[in-house]
């Protein structure tokens, strides 16, 4: 049995690059950029008004001004204000030549003569100048960036409609066990619904990886061998839940060896998740995850997800925040690192959720994150500051 830190190191060192693909920019959310994005124009592309008001010359503001034109956004000015003149202008419209400020409509008065009179005491320029945000040729997004919604807007603004990204890994999900039935079926005696597969598929969606569910592998070695072998040949990562413990029908590790997988570890000093198995094949990386749903969820978050991002050439930094324990946490067994689900309260305190073990799936629904309790530590006192990893 190895430590979690050693397991993490082995997993990350087993990563391989998935390559590059070109996709539409509006489908790139959550993907990793594999090129730098360069602006094809100045932003803004012209001097534009930042408020609704009147484009004029500062030197004329002490006089009544004739309104010579109305300039809406999207229309190029036809006239240039001269002495004693101004142009009515809308936010985002091009400022006419000759104007050096835009006075806000709130600071003006339209006289019975139709002229504009400035009533304010202070004049801001209220002009966004050409190229002040971005100049043509500027790098607006760097390679290796995880694409966010605001980055989609940046790509749209510079006309980058096709973008190179790291290919998302293809991932297979297989559930193992005669006791499993699919969620749409009513379980019989000694049967349970298969929640792990759909939990893992949902977790994969958040990484933008391409997941494929291969169904339930029954407790028969030859059938399981065929499913696993096909999954390995078609994917970059294979996730198998169940069949990796010590029971008579837990033969997944041997099937993996028969399928050409080199097992790098099969026990991790972590609770829950001890029977996590990991191996490599010349075509894919393989995880044997525990059948208990909390275990499989957490081991995906802690081991599989960082690997997915590394394969896309991105270093995932999990969100961690500091909180104070509002009640004491104790445990009997301190031989493994404990992963304890906690809820973050409105006042910022952290409290362990009711947790009955690795089969207590509903406990995760009430948790905001987990704390890591090191090997050899049996309790955490009330009032102690802890680091909570968001989940």
49 CB-contact burial (10 Å; exposed 0-12 / middle 13-18 / buried 19+): buried
Residues 62/85, Cβ–Cβ less than 8 Å: no
DSSP 149: H
> What's the rounded Cα separation, in Å, for the pair 217 and 307?
25
Higher pLDDT, 58 or 251: 58
Average pLDDT over residues 333-347: 94
Q: What is the rounded CA–CA span in Å between residue 101 and residue 204?
A: 52
Q: Residue 246: is its pLDDT beyond 70? A: no
Q: How far is CA 330 from CA 88, 128, 214, 225, 349, in A?
A: 71, 60, 40, 42, 17
Instruction: Kindly indicate the confidence band of residue 357, based on its pLDDT and cuts at 50, 70 and 90.
Output: low
Answer for the pair 386, 350: CB distance below 8 angstroms, yes or no: yes
Give pLDDT, residue 365.
Answer: 81
Question: Which pLDDT does position 360 carry in this prediction?
Answer: 55
Best CA proximity match to 86, nearest among 75, 100, 73: 100
Domains and CATH numbers, the chain: 4-19+168-311 (3.40.980.10), 20-43+132-166 (3.90.105.10), 48-128 (2.170.190.11), 320-390 (2.40.340.10)
Q: Own/partner pairs for 38-41, CB < 8 Å, 24+ apart?
A: 38/137, 38/138, 38/139, 38/140, 38/158, 39/134, 39/135, 39/136, 39/137, 39/138, 39/140, 39/158, 40/136, 40/158, 40/159, 41/136, 41/158, 41/159
How many other C-beta atoms lie within 10 A of the C-beta of residue 149? Answer: 8
Whether 194 contacts 187, CB under 8 Å = no
What is the secondary structure of 50-77 as a DSSP string?
SSSEEEE-GGGTTS-BEEEEEE-TT---
CA 176, CA 372: separation in Å to the nearest integer?
29
**What is the phi/psi pair of residue 69, to 5°?**
-170, 150
d(CA 103, CA 118): 8
pTM of this structure: 0.86
Q: Is the dihedral of CA 273, 277, 278, 283 positive or negative?
A: negative
- Report pLDDT digits (tens) over 92-120: 999 999 999 999 999 999 999 999 999 99
| Per-residue pLDDT, 94 | 98
More confident residue, 98 or 362: 98
pLDDT score recorded for residue 51: 97
Average pLDDT in the 149-173 region? 97
Handedness of CA 379, 332, 249, 291 (dihedral sign): negative
Q: Report the pLDDT averaged over residues 10-36.
A: 97
Span 224-230, average pLDDT = 96
Contact status, residue 201 vs residue 239, Cβ threshold 8 Å: no
Tell me the pLDDT of the chain averaged across its residues.
93
Element (H, E) at 350: strand 349-352
More confident residue, 243 or 155: 155
Average pLDDT of the residues in 4-27: 97
Asked if residues 298 and 314 have their Cβ atoms less than 8 Å apart, the reply is no
Phi, psi for residue 388 in degrees, rounded to 5: -105, 120
pLDDT tops 60 at residue 52: yes
pLDDT on residue 248: 46
Tell me: pLDDT of 245 over 90: no
Helix (H) or strand (E) segment spanning residue 363: helix 362-365
Of 34, 35, 7, 37, give the one whose Cα is nearest residue 18.
Answer: 34
């Amino acid at each position: 049995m190895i430590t979690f830190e050693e397991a993490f190191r082995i997993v990350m060192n087993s990563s391989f690059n998935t390559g590059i693909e070109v996709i539409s920019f509006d489908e790139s959310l959550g993907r990793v950029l594999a090129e730098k994005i360069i602006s094809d124009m100045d932003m803004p592309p012209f001097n534009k008004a930042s408020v609704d008001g009147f484009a004029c010359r500062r030197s004329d503001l002490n006089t009544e001004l004739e309104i010579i034109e109305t300039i809406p956004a999207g229309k190029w000015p036809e006239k240039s204000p001269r002495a004693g003149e101004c142009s009515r202008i809308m936010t985002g419209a091009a400022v006419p030549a000759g104007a050096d400020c835009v006075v806000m409509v709130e600071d003006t008065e339209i006289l019975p003569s139709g002229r504009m009179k400035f009533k304010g005491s202070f004049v801001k320029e209220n002009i966004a100048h050409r190229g002040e945000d971005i100049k043509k040729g500027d790098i607006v997004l760097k390679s290796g960036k995880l694409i966010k919604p605001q980055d989609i807007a940046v790509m749209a603004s510079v006309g980058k409609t096709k973008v190179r990204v790291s290919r998302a890994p293809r991932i297979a999900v297989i559930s193992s066990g005669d006791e499993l039935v699919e969620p749409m079926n009513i379980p019989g005696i000694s049967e349970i619904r298969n929640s792990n597969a759909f939990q893992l598929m949902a977790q994969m969606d958040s990484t933008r990886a391409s997941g494929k569910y291969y169904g339930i592998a029954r407790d028969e070695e030859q059938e399981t061998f065929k499913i696993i072998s096909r999954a390995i040949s078609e994917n970059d990562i294979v996730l198998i839940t169940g069949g990796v413990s010590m029971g008579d029908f837990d033969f997944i590790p041997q099937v993996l060896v028969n399928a050409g997988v080199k097992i790098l570890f099969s026990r991790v000093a972590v609770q829950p998740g001890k029977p996590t198995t990991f191996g490599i094949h010349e075509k894919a990386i393989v995880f044997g995850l525990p059948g208990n749903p909390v275990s499989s969820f957490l081991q995906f978050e802690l081991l599989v997800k960082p690997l997915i991002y590394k394969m896309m050439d991105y270093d995932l930094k999990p969100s961690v925040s500091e909180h104070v324990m509002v009640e004491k946490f104790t445990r009997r067994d301190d031989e493994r690192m404990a992963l304890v689900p906690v809820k973050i309260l409105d006042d910022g305190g952290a409290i362990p959720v009711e947790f009955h073990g690795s089969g207590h799936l509903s406990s995760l629904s009430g948790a905001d994150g987990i704390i890591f309790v090191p090997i050899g530590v049996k309790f955490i006192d009330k009032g102690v500051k802890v680091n909570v990893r968001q989940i």
